[in-house]
């Protein structure tokens, strides 16, 4: 095993990047998914098609965008279409193989809440909302989710069903007339999870290096199910780690370069 | 026929208290200068429509212009939450704000339906999504041919749409380049449209398939260089990411927000935008 030191965050991004294939057409959510998708593109999946909801198809940014509509995405895209076209022809039309989402709140069946903490009408915390996610979750061929584990984030019951995963589990998607696979993988900073074939409950199938079962349970709000013999996630390779770190360094430099210019001259 | 006029005159003529107004631009080309002029002219009771309210509606809501917001993602992109919008929703400051919340797919379809002159948009959406429970404007229709159940939302038909674009020619034809978002649909769906542009040129030099709004679809054109800042204009200046990061701190406190708005919006004119992008021009 390599002596290389890496953070749980880096392990998460790299494990998530490995899930993507060269021929995937991936609708990329902002934040953690964006880093994973671009590491995949810069390592083992150079021909992957990355799509952002701002309309950029086949984008290959050299730095990670701060928003889903940074100019970098358009500059490096094969083509840029309007937002209605993006959602109608490309997502609803069934052209997207993977939807890659982050989550504020997640339950064991891959249902995602990014809308409110508390009651919808009188929320304790008003979150940004769904954006593209409700339809990415139902219309992509399958869905990968990536998030850092925490008791607050991975909860027994989510406060709001922003994006439907497997609902109450089992064949709930099918009963609602949703014919796509839904969440098929969850990549956290501690483990890789896949839904049980029958119940659709997320089950730990691979544990990241240096992580214990107790760690995984301690940062998860439901009682964790483990596969009979969970694998151990391979640690990041030198190439994966250097690719991710270079990408982050370029991104940091680029975002700091635009110093605030709105301090008007008096 | 389109009118070339000052932004002050265009806002005064086209935006009335109580209007349903869309200030569109999907991360790119957000019409900040037009929004700031609306703030200076103290418009009230607006229904503000925008897929991603962004910092621009955080400012308008915080300054008390809005009664209602129709939207699909109320975040500061890549940074976090919209603190002024949250304060209005959670604490009613400065006024309460009614929310009509959708998904991006619904809003995009609703603008397109508005542009197409249809009463509603039909799409395969909201399946299993709880927004359908809390938003009375999300309904279901059955396809008369296949029996499939589909989502329906009302078309968006703003009284006025504001957008920012790279350039217009002297007749007032407008070219939109880069991430084109929903601006074409938002303009064609509206009764009136005001476009701020970086510059006016003799020839748009646009190939036949580019996104061009003919002059007779636009009510007013105002030349405001830098008018999208801190958003950006492809080929002119980059996005001021640092502003978006700093906004999180400015908007965190009511007094700091108000004093910032006084210094940077109320005491200014549209001409201030040009200087704000001077360093960002060097990057493109």
pTM above 0.80, yes or no: yes
Q: Can you spell out the DSSP letters for B74-104? A: -EETTTEE-HHHHHHHHH--SS--EEEE--H
**Which DSSP category does B191 fall into?**
S
Q: Beta partners for A98?
A: A26, A142
Taking an 8 Å cut-off on Cβ atoms, the answer to whether B239 and A164 are in contact is no
Query: Which of A161, A118, A193 has its CA nearest to residue B127?
Result: A161
Looking at domain B3-102+157-273, which CATH architecture does it have? Answer: 3-Layer(aba) Sandwich (3.40)
Q: Please tell me the distance from the alpha carbon of residue A56 to that of residue A165, in angstroms, as a whole number.
A: 26
User: What was the pLDDT predicted at A2?
Assistant: 47
Rounded to a whole number, what is the distance in Å from the CA of A159 to chain B's nearest CA?
10
Is A178's pLDDT higher than 90? yes
Domains of chain A: 8-257 (3.40.1080.10)
A254, closest residue in chain B (CA to CA): B241
More confident of the two residues A3 and A140: A140
Contacts of A65 (CB under 8 A, 6+ apart): A30, A34, A52, A72, A73, B78
Taking an 8 Å cut-off on Cβ atoms, the answer to whether B184 and A82 are in contact is yes
Q: What is the mean pLDDT of each run of 10 residues along chain B (284 residues)?
A: 95 98 97 98 98 97 98 90 93 95 98 98 97 97 97 98 98 96 98 98 93 96 98 94 94 98 98 95 75
Rounded to a whole number, what is the distance in Å from the CA of B126 to chain A's nearest CA?
6
Of A71, A123, A255, the CB nearest to B234: A71
User: What was the pLDDT predicted at A266?
Assistant: 46
Q: Please tell me the distance from the alpha carbon of residue A248 to that of residue B4, in angstroms, as a whole number.
A: 45
Which H helix or E strand runs over A143? Answer: strand A142-146
Q: Please tell me the distance from the alpha carbon of residue A201 to that of residue A221, in angstroms, as a whole number.
A: 14
Q: Please tell me the distance from the alpha carbon of residue B145 to that of residue B56, in angstroms, as a whole number.
A: 43
B151, closest residue in chain A (CA to CA): A135
Taking an 8 Å cut-off on Cβ atoms, the answer to whether B109 and A88 are in contact is yes
Taking an 8 Å cut-off on Cβ atoms, the answer to whether B243 and A260 are in contact is yes
Which H helix or E strand runs over A241? Answer: helix A238-257
**Structure-derived torsion over alpha carbons of residues B177, B181, B182, B183, reported in degrees to the nearest 10:** -30
Q: Please tell me the distance from the alpha carbon of residue A141 to that of residue A179, in angstroms, as a whole number.
A: 9
Please give the structure tokens belonging to residue B144: 């008369």
Give me the half-sphere count of Cα atoms (radius 13 Å) on the Cβ side of residue A221.
15
CB B48 within 8 A of CB B65: yes
Q: Please tell me the distance from the alpha carbon of residue B10 to that of residue B193, in angstroms, as a whole number.
A: 10
A75, closest residue in chain B (CA to CA): B178
Please give the structure tokens belonging to residue B111: 């603008």
Within 10 A of A1 (CB to CB), how many other CB atoms are there?
7
Query: Which of B200, B199, B194, B193 has its CA nearest to residue B169?
Result: B200
Chain A positions in Cβ-Cβ contact with residue B71 (cut-off 8 Å): 129
pLDDT digits (tens, 9 = 90+) for A152-164: 999 999 999 999 9
Q: Please tell me the distance from the alpha carbon of residue A195 to that of residue A192, in angstroms, as a whole number.
A: 10
Rounded to a whole number, what is the distance in Å from the CA of B135 to chain A's nearest CA?
11
Mean residue pLDDT of chain A comes to: 93
Taking an 8 Å cut-off on Cβ atoms, the answer to whether A88 and B112 are in contact is yes
CB B61 within 8 A of CB B92: no
Catalytic residue among A3, A10, A53, A201: A53
Q: Please tell me the distance from the alpha carbon of residue A106 to that of residue A119, in angstroms, as a whole number.
A: 16
Q: Beta partners for A106?
A: A112, A154
Helix (H, G, I), strand (E, B) or coil at A163: strand
pLDDT digits (tens, 9 = 90+) for A212-237: 999 999 999 999 999 999 999 999 99
User: What was the pLDDT predicted at A69?
Assistant: 81
Active site includes A214?
Answer: no
CA quadruple A98, A101, A107, A108: dihedral sign: positive
Backbone angles phi, psi at B176, to 5 degrees: -115, 125
Taking an 8 Å cut-off on Cβ atoms, the answer to whether B182 and A83 are in contact is yes
User: What was the pLDDT predicted at A1?
Assistant: 45
Query: Which of B239, B108, B233, B113 has its CA nearest to residue B176?
Result: B233
Chain-centroid distance, C-alpha A246: 20
B282 exposure class (CB count in 10 Å sphere: 0-12, 13-18, 19+): exposed
Within 10 A of A266 (CB to CB), how many other CB atoms are there?
5
Is A260's pLDDT higher than 70? no
B27, closest residue in chain A (CA to CA): A69
Q: Please tell me the distance from the alpha carbon of residue B35 to that of residue A266, in angstroms, as a whole number.
A: 22
Chain B positions in Cβ-Cβ contact with residue A91 (cut-off 8 Å): 105
Q: Where are the domains of chain B?
A: 3-102+157-273, 104-154
């Amino acid at each position: 095993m390599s002596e290389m030191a890496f953070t749980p965050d880096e392990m998460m991004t790299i494990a998530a990047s490995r899930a993507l294939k060269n021929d995937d057409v991936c609708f990329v959510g902002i934040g953690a998914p964006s880093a994973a998708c671009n590491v995949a593109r810069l390592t083992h999946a150079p021909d992957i098609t990355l799509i952002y909801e701002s309309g950029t198809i086949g984008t290959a940014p050299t730095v990670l965008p701060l928003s889903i509509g940074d100019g970098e995405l358009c500059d490096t895209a094969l083509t840029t279409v309007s937002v209605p076209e993006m959602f109608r022809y490309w997502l609803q039309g069934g052209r997207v193989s993977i939807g890659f989402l982050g989550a504020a709140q997640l339950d064991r069946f891959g249902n995602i809440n990014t809308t409110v903490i508390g009651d919808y009408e009188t929320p304790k915390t008003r979150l940004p909302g769904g954006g593209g996610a409700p339809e990415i979750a139902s219309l992509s061929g399958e869905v990968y989710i990536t998030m850092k584990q925490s008791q607050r984030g991975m909860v027994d019951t989510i406060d709001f069903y922003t994006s439907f995963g497997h609902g109450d589990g089992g064949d709930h998607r099918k009963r609602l007339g949703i014919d796509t696979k839904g969440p098929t993988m969850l990549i956290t900073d501690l483990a890789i999870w896949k839904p049980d074939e029958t119940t659709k409950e997320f089950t730990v199938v691979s544990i990241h290096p240096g992580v214990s079962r107790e760690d995984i349970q301690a940062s998860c709000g439901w009682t964790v199910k483990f596969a009979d013999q969970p694998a151990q996630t391979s640690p990041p390779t030198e190439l994966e780690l250097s690719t991710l770190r270079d990408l982050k360094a370029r991104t940091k430099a680029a975002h700091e370069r635009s110093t605030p210019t709105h301090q008007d001259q008096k | 026929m389109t009118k070339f006029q000052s932004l002050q005159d265009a806002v005064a003529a086209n935006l009335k208290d109580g209007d349903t107004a869309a200030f569109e631009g999907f991360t790119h080309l957000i019409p900040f200068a037009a929004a700031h002029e609306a703030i200076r002219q103290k418009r009230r009771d607006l229904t503000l429509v925008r897929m991603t309210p962004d910092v621009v509606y955080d400012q308008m809501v915080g300054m008390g212009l809005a009664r209602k917001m129709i939207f699909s993602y109320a975040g500061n992109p890549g940074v976090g939450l919209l603190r002024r919008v949250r304060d209005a929703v959670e604490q009613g400051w400065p006024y309460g704000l009614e929310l009509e919340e959708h998904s991006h797919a619904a809003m995009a379809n609703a603008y397109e339906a508005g542009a197409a002159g249809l009463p509603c948009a039909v799409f395969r959406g909201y399946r299993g999504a709880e927004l359908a429970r809390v938003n009375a404007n999300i309904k279901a229709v059955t396809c008369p041919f296949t029996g499939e159940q589909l989502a329906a939302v009302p078309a968006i038909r703003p009284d006025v749409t504001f957008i920012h674009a790279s350039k217009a020619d002297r007749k007032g034809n407008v070219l939109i380049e880069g991430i084109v978002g929903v601006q074409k649909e938002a303009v064609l769906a509206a009764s009136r449209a005001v476009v701020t542009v970086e510059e006016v040129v003799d020839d748009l030099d646009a190939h036949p398939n580019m996104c061009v709004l003919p002059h007779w679809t636009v009510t007013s054109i105002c030349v405001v260089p830098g008018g999208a800042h801190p958003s950006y204009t492809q080929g002119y200046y980059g996005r001021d990411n640092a502003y978006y990061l700093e906004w999180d701190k400015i908007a965190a406190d009511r007094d700091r927000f108000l004093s910032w708005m006084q210094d940077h919006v109320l005491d200014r004119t549209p001409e201030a935008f040009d200087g704000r992008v001077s360093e960002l021009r060097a990057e493109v």
